[in-house]
């Protein structure tokens, strides 16, 4: 796995990202020799899975929304838009 200091990454970000994308291999980022981050190649199809894996609140919100739909706790689109417009319309 390629390793880059934060300084190297700052100076050569485009090259580092291009290298990770081209080789499809991750790169490790270090600060004073200690690993602090990793750059990983990402396909657009993998983005949703990555976000959901790192943001459990999103999964909880989706589950709550699906439960509301199943319970019939919904609002018509026109009503929701009217509420967003507020009294000044």
Is the pLDDT assigned to residue 76 strictly greater than 60?
Answer: yes
Q: What mean pLDDT is predicted for residues 2-8?
A: 94
Q: Domain containing 61: what range? A: 44-85
pLDDT of residue 88: 63
Residues 34 and 7 in one domain: yes
How many distinct structural domains can be found in the chain? Answer: 2
Provide the pLDDT confidence category of residue 50 given band limits of 50, 70 and 90: confident
Three-state DSSP class for residue 43: coil
Backbone angles phi, psi at 79, to 5 degrees: -65, -40
Give the CATH number of the domain where residue 8 resides.
3.40.1620.10
Residues 50 and 21 in one domain: no
Structure tokens at 52: 């959901």
Residues 31 and 53 in one domain: no
Residues 35 and 50 in one domain: no
Residues 50 and 67 in one domain: yes
The model carries a pTM of 0.54
Q: Count Cβ atoms below 10 Å from residue 30 Cβ, excluding itself.
A: 16
Q: What mean pLDDT is predicted for residues 6-33?
A: 94
Three-state DSSP class for residue 28: strand
Residues 33 and 16 in one domain: yes
């Amino acid at each position: 796995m390629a390793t880059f200091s934060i300084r190297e990454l700052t100076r050569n970000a485009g090259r580092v990202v291009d290298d990770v994308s081209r080789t499809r291999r991750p790169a490790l980022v270090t600060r004073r020799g200690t690993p602090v981050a990793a750059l990983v190649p990402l396909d657009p199809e993998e983005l949703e899975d990555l976000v959901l894996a790192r943001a459990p609140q999103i999964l909880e919100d989706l589950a709550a929304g699906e439960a509301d739909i199943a319970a019939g706790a919904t609002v018509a689109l026109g009503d929701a838009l009217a509420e967003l417009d507020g009294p000044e319309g």
